[in-house]
Amino acid sequence: MKRVINIISLLVILFITVSHAEAKSRIIPAGGRFDTRFLIVIDKESYNAVEKEITEYKKALESDGLGVVMLIGEWSDPIVLREEIRAIYKKRPIMEGAVFVGKIPVVRVRNFQHATTAFKMDEENFPMFESSVTSDRFYDDLDLEFEFIKQDEKNPLHFYYNLKESSPQQISSEFYSARMMPPSDYGVDQHQLLGRYLLKAAAAHREVNYADRVIFFNGHGYNSDCLIVWQNQQFAIKEQFPHAFKDSRGNAFYNFRQDPFMKFKLYERMQKEGTDLFVFHEHGAFDTQYINGEFPAPNTLGFVPGRTLAPVSASAAYIPRSPMEAVSVSVRNMYRRYRGERAESFRKTMIEEYGFSEKFFAKENLDAKKREDSLFAANVNITLPDLIPLKFQPRVSIFDACYNASFHQEGYVAGYHIFGEGKTVVTQGNTVNVLQDKWSMELIGMLSEGIRIGFWQKEIQTLESHLVGDPTFRFTAGSGEKASADAGKLLNKQLALSSRDSKIWMEYYKSDNPNLKALALKQLSKNPPPGFSDLLFKTFKESESYIVRMQALKRMIDLNDRYLVEALVLGLNDPYELIRRNAARFAAYSGNERLIEPLVHTILFSDESQRVQYAAQNALDMFNLNLVSKDIERQVAGSTLIRGEKTIGQLVEYYTAQNKRWTNSLATIKDKTADNAKRISAIRMLRNYNNHAQVEDLLMVLRDSSDDLKVRITLAEALGWFNWSIKKIMIIDSLNNMFNDGTTPEELRREVLQSINRLSVG
């Protein structure tokens, strides 16, 4: 019997070994000797379906001087794949990038919201599917440390991981990456979509194509609809894509105000042949590009009733004949979405405050208008079905929007642009919501210099930002000169092999080309030469280039040294709106009282810059009320404001109310008898609003061992957001003491460690 059991055991072991061997990944090496390598990761099923097309893509990349290694397998564990990638990465020559093709495990990351630009959903009170961030930083940043949570019950391709508290707390990817994930709801077989796309991507590598045709669009509600934002971006883009400004056809800047149903004009522009880059600054969802909003711009309403430019089934589209009719349609559609008390409250408000009649909300009227109201709503935004008939022409499309690159969904905007018909080979977007005030076009001029788009993405990477499509795509450098093309090839090589070589990048810094100078500042920050801080401040004060000054400010923000406050003071008076806006934002995070004067000046005298003024208004909440009030009075007294006393009264009243609100919030946090949900909600507000004056009180709550553990853990996490605070050292010292205190509960100790690691960077 014992012998039989041993034989059975051996057979089981043999079966497991054989099964593992059958599942072992296959590697196809590069076809020659190359300076750098690129990795294609593809699942076995997809490879078998598109072997011819992906081989053609591999050949195209190698003809472009990039050695391609192909990893083919079946992975049910992301960690196994990550380790296979790590093993390939460790070999030589250097692996500069990777693309994940087909059904590659999707990792949903938790406990790493500080690596996003804006995502702060409560991970405990919202479903895991909604409150996790889809991110390939799991694969391309090999230093990050994760712990497995679970596999998704509904989608076995999705896996949930926590970032470990002991892990590095900033993203620093070893290589660039992208996804090629065809939408499953497109109505065409995914492998057919993938094969068609790969041939398109391969063909793009054989082109001579300069970045000299660019289009930008600003959608409804983005950046507070500020026209200064829209206007100023043109100055920066001219520096980044100079060849697109040689004639009127090289560039276009569109705004939702230019048409009541702008989507149809965008259909035309997205299908315009020869377009190199199309950038959408907009709000978004995984299946929607928000274009005009609830109340369309009235510019042409009434002038072209019934007109439509739609190439799809909107030929029967209803277009209101007047602004009031458009408002009426929007009000009816909003009312239909409400139920119960909310619907009644909305109806009552519209009647009492806006003059609508009872008859307007009558069921008979709503039913009679339902069809045309539905057509109206369909014309406002772009949804996935709208995209299917279009033949997209831009080689590169960028979605500066929330959720448009959510490749974990069955269908997603970026995927429809890539895998649809046309010439688009790569898009960039985000898998969750994104900060409107980030510099989304940072270093985008790298594309004009012939740099692979993956290198650009790697330089601006966040947890949520991703390329969808071919990350090795690049335009031809310059506008026809061989020297420029050769310089572009050299630049790619140096980014791959010498990104930390300060001598090389100091030479680029000497260039008169703003793109190269800005890129040099970013590369120098990775291995700063002596005097780098002085160089940044000098550059910020003296450079005439918008993008060079903005890059210098960003690097000073990261360094967070003795020059930062002075740079923020100067930044609040910079001619570039984006610099002023970011200076106002980081003034709030700093709390240094020297910043009160320029912030007050902004809220009093910068009405034309709504987004800057909004940031400055919020920033002043974080400063001493008496000092803010006195400076408002002083600056108004020396001004030509017509209603000076009224302005003083309104602003002081506002900031007094805000101060009371924050005082009440602190009282809630300190009150052990208050409901924990309310205390935690008040604490979570500190992640966006670093209230420096309250730090001492907050640390007392954190140290109180008799207080609720969950409250203390939430507070320890919130204090990790005070990276630029004047109280940062005090916070770090207190956290270190708690970490070294043997009586600190282990769960709290881990959160304290994570905040220490976050605050100790920069």
Q: Looking at the structure, give the CATH architecture of the domain made up of residues 211-294+383-469.
A: 3-Layer(aba) Sandwich (3.40)
Q: What is the pLDDT of residues 611-667, one digit of tens each?
A: 999 999 999 999 999 999 999 999 999 899 999 999 999 999 999 999 999 999 999
CA distance 377 to 392: 24
203-251 tens-digit pLDDT: 999 999 999 999 999 999 999 999 999 999 999 999 999 999 999 999 9
Q: Which two tokens stand for residue 190?
A: 């995914």
Q: Looking at residue 76, what DSSP letter applies? A: S
pLDDT band at 7 (very low <50, low <70, confident <90, very high): very low
CATH class of 28-197: alpha beta
C-alpha 646/C-alpha 666 separation (Å) is: 30
pLDDT of residue 717: 98
Q: How far is CA 707 from CA 13, 143, 662, in A?
A: 53, 35, 21
pLDDT at position 324 = 78
For residue 491, the surrounding DSSP H or E stretch is: helix 482-497
Distance from C-alpha of 98 to C-alpha of 85, rounded to nearest angstrom = 9
Rounded CA Rg of the chain: 28
The first and second tokens of residue 385, run together, are 């079905």
514-524 and 546-559 are packed helices; what angle lies between their axes, rounded to 10 degrees? 10
pLDDT digit string, tens, across residues 362-419: 999 999 999 988 888 888 999 999 999 999 999 999 999 999 999 999 999 999 999 9
Domain ranges of the chain: 28-197, 211-294+383-469, 320-378, 513-660, 671-759
Report how far residue 251's alpha carbon sits from residue 123's, in angstroms, rounded to the nearest whole number: 43
Q: What does the pLDDT average to over 522-536?
A: 98
Mean pLDDT of 553-565: 97
Cβ atoms of 169 and 758 closer than 8 Å = yes
Please name which of 472, 535, 478, 474 lies closest in space to residue 502, comparing C-alpha atoms. Answer: 535
Give dist(CA 34, CA 377) in Å, integer.
54
Q: Which CATH number does 513-660 carry?
A: 1.25.10.10
Is pLDDT above 50 for 13? no
pLDDT(320) > 70: no
The secondary element (H helix, E strand) that includes residue 28 is strand 26-28
CA-to-CA distance for 450 and 466, rounded, in angstroms?
Answer: 20
Q: Which two tokens stand for residue 388?
A: 């299917």
CB 96 within 8 A of CB 496: yes
The set of residues, in sequence order, having a beta carbon less than 8 Å from that of 685 and lying 6+ positions away, is 665
Cα gap 177→100, rounded to integer Å: 8
Helix (H, G, I), strand (E, B) or coil at 516: helix
Q: Cα(191)–Cα(186) distance, rounded to whole angstroms? A: 12
Residue 300 clears pLDDT 70, i.e. is over it? no
- In three-state secondary structure terms, 69 is strand
Structure tokens at 252: 């276009």
Structure tokens at 54: 């992906």
Give yes or no on whether 28-197 and 211-294+383-469 have one common fold.
yes
Please, which pLDDT band fits residue 325 given cuts at 50, 70 and 90? confident
431 close to 450: Cβ distance less than 8 angstroms? no
Mean pLDDT of the chain: 93
Of residues 297 and 453, more confidence is placed in 453
pTM for the predicted model, two decimal places: 0.92
Using DSSP bridges, classify how beta strands 176-180 and 158-163 pair: parallel, antiparallel or unpaired. Answer: unpaired
Q: What is the largest CA-CA distance in the chain?
A: 103
